[in-house]
Amino acid sequence: MNSHTFKFYKLSNLLIFMFFTFALLAQKSVPLEQRIDETLKQLTLDEKVALLHAQSKFSSAGVPRLGIPENWMSDGPHGIRNEVLWDEWYAAGWTNDSCIAFPALTCLAATWNPEMAALYGNAIGQEARYRNKNVLLGPGVNIYRTPLNGRNFEYMGEDPYLAAQMVVPYVWNVQKNGVAACVKHYALNNQEVDRGHINVIVDERALHEIYLPAFKAAVQQGGAWAIMGAYNQYKNQHACHNQYLLNDILKRDWAFDGVVISDWGGAHNTEQAIINGLDMEFGSWTDGMRANKSNAYDLYYLANPYLELLRNGKTDVKTLDDKVRRVLRLIFRTNMADERHFGSFGTSEHAAVGRKIAEEGIVLLKNTNINAKIAKTNKTSALPVLPVDLSSTKTILVVGENAVKRMTIGGGSSSLKAKYEISPLQGIKNRVGNAAEVIYVKGYESPATKEPDVKNAKNPDKKNIDYAALRAEAVAAARNADVVLFFGGLNKNEHQDCEGGDRETYDLPYQQNELITELLKANPRTAVVMISGNAVAMPWAKTASAILEAWYGGTETGNAIAAVLFGDVNPSGKLPFSFYEKLTDAAAHSLGDYPGDGTNVEYKDGIFVGYRWLEKQKIAPAFAFGHGLSYTTFRYDKITADKTSISENDKITFNLTVTNTGKFDGAEVVQLYISDKQSSIERPAKELKAFKKVFLKAGETQNVSLTIDKTALSFYDVTRHDWTAEQGTFEALIGSSSADIRAKISFELKNN
């Protein structure tokens, strides 16, 4: 190439670059729907269908001819999953895909703080964006119906209002990073047993009042760009292609303009997928869930089988074009958005966000004063075990496998390759330093499992675990310690908190109950720390002086737990679901409908889920929904309403003052429940309809206002297929939990 030719070549490339740059800028000025229309006209039939199904485990095709990029998904909702091989589930072996692991969504919900949900969404959205993922497969908002559900740790509790309030800022802040939040699992995926086919029978009122509100809020308030269909069936149609759920409710009634994505392998029939609302199909294997055929993505239901029906004129192009429009809208909102930052990944700032959420979500269940002799010192203490006072503590015994076990791996699709994970034991050592001696004893052990997502990983040799010997060692050590910190609960092993199977018992595994009972006898200054995503039976709870629910806290879990244990952070979390004394106190188990007969499961409890059921049956919980203690105390005063009656288009505001009456700075969640006193149909004794978290310095008083309107007074009328608020007397119940009501105020709803 001579110099003149080279100069011409450079000039030509420059002109081409300028042309496409100006074209791109011009395109960005075109309204979104117009861009979709213009692009749709240029697509061939083959290109349209190719947009609708996977081309690898976590991606779908773009249109290279038109410069339309691929879609890349990542499992969430607690962090960005490591890269897997194109056509297999095994890890790809990258060295730069180690993420920040954020707390489980049960922990986020336990903060009762939408500001934490916003921080969470923004941080995980930045991580997804940096890794070039334009769809985050999360968050999950299925309702906590049974404490045995293996995926409860991925969800936001038992109350539809709380879940709705927490999911909206999460979704909005993920999406401001140019990443679609794919809210899951829509709908009624409340158990893992038989999840791939079980048909859920639930009345229409319960569907709309309990199981759909968080999804509705995510769509209508959060503006979610994607929804993932569930594995189970409803009305004998799979949720991933379900006329009533997808076409009638989601797309017609809620005006959802995003994409419906199948759960992996959740599609089962081409014709049903076409007409019943599915837009994008992904698979657990390359041929749905039936067989593992390598690179057989053209066999998907929305692939060649769909193309063949189109070519033969057996299905209409109008339905196809609606699906394609939705996929193009997803791409233009994400990968081809006008403003899209680069994001950031694995940063100390994101780790700090995770730690803050973990600290604020930890729930202090019990913390009573004790007056017990400690064997080593022979001194008497009349103070709570927590926070641990290092000025009078020389030896700290840490007991339990969960003090050292990694919790960011395992659990199914939410398993993560974390950049690092601070264990509770390490967090305690970090905090204590040389102020006291920290001793660790295992106390119990779980069977070892093979490493997830590792090709050719072998099951470890089975080991005989001598629980009696482990227990005896821990109990002997406890007698000589100033303070014992026990770490137990569940883990991410199969049939614990893990996708694909439910728990087999409500009890703690690995003989933990026996160990805790003996530890409490050996040393009353024992704090029990539960790490789990589910409630567990606590037959020793009345004996224990201090119980802490610490959830799965992610990368910074150990530092967060230590901050609470030693009083650097005052616990302010509240339970997002009820802790039952025994399993049969839960409606699904009391009524005997869980887990169904293998074909159907009937939700006989209707709208009476969680605390609604407990109050209907007058059953006392072990720990109530909304419960959570503090190292300080709060007083509620001057509780008033700004009016005594409202019309249908009006609002009513309840005002009060909250005073921190203790010596620690802290936060309180003021909760407002509504009771309908004159309803024509059966309603719960109370339902959460507003809450506010307030942070108060020791001795400080703040004014708190909670406002509601007619929607807070409404129920779903199955005769009208719409929401109704009846005239009459209502009662506002304001308190610190569903079981700790501080004041009641009556008011009237009247005609306009």
Active site residues: 263
* Range 339-344 contact pairs with CB under 8 angstroms and sequence separation of 24 or more: 339/178, 340/129, 340/177, 340/178, 341/126, 341/129, 341/177, 341/178, 342/129, 342/130, 343/125, 343/126, 343/127, 343/128, 343/129, 343/130, 343/131, 343/177, 344/126, 344/127, 344/130
Angle at 120 between CA 403 and CA 133, to 5 degrees: 105
d(CA 226, CA 237): 20
* 3-state DSSP of 456-480: CCCCCCCCCCCHHHHHHHHHHHHCC
DSSP state of 196: T
- H or E element in which residue 74 lies: strand 71-75
Interatomic CA distance for residues 240 and 268, integer angstroms: 9
Q: Is 41 exposed, middle or buried (0-12, 13-18, 19+ CB in 10 A)?
A: exposed
Helix (H, G, I), strand (E, B) or coil at 346: coil
Other residues' Cβ atoms within 10 Å of the Cβ of residue 455? 11
Q: Among 344, 493, 342, 418, which Cα is nearest to 82's?
A: 418
Report yes or no: 424 and 398 within 8 Å, Cβ to Cβ. Answer: yes
b/e map 534-569, b = 16+ CB within 10 Å: bbbbbebbeebbbbbbbbbbbbbbbbbbbbbbbeeb
Q: How far is CA 71 from CA 179, 180, 334, 485, in A?
A: 11, 10, 9, 47
C-alpha to C-alpha distance for 745 and 731, rounded to whole angstroms: 5
Residue type, 674: I
Report phi then psi at 390, rounded to 5.
-70, -20
Torsions phi, psi for 655 (to 5 deg): -120, 145
Q: Is 643 helix (H, G, I), strand (E, B) or coil?
A: coil
Which residue's entry shows tokens 């001793």? 439
Bridge partners, 136 (sequence order):
74, 181
Nearest to 89 by CA among 97, 78, 81: 81
* Helix axes of 114-130 and 160-175: crossing angle, nearest 10 degrees: 40
Pairing of strands 634-641, 600-602: unpaired
Closest CA to 144 of 487, 592, 612: 612
Element (H, E) at 213: helix 213-220
CA distance 706 to 745: 13
127 contacts 99 by C-beta, under 8 angstroms: yes
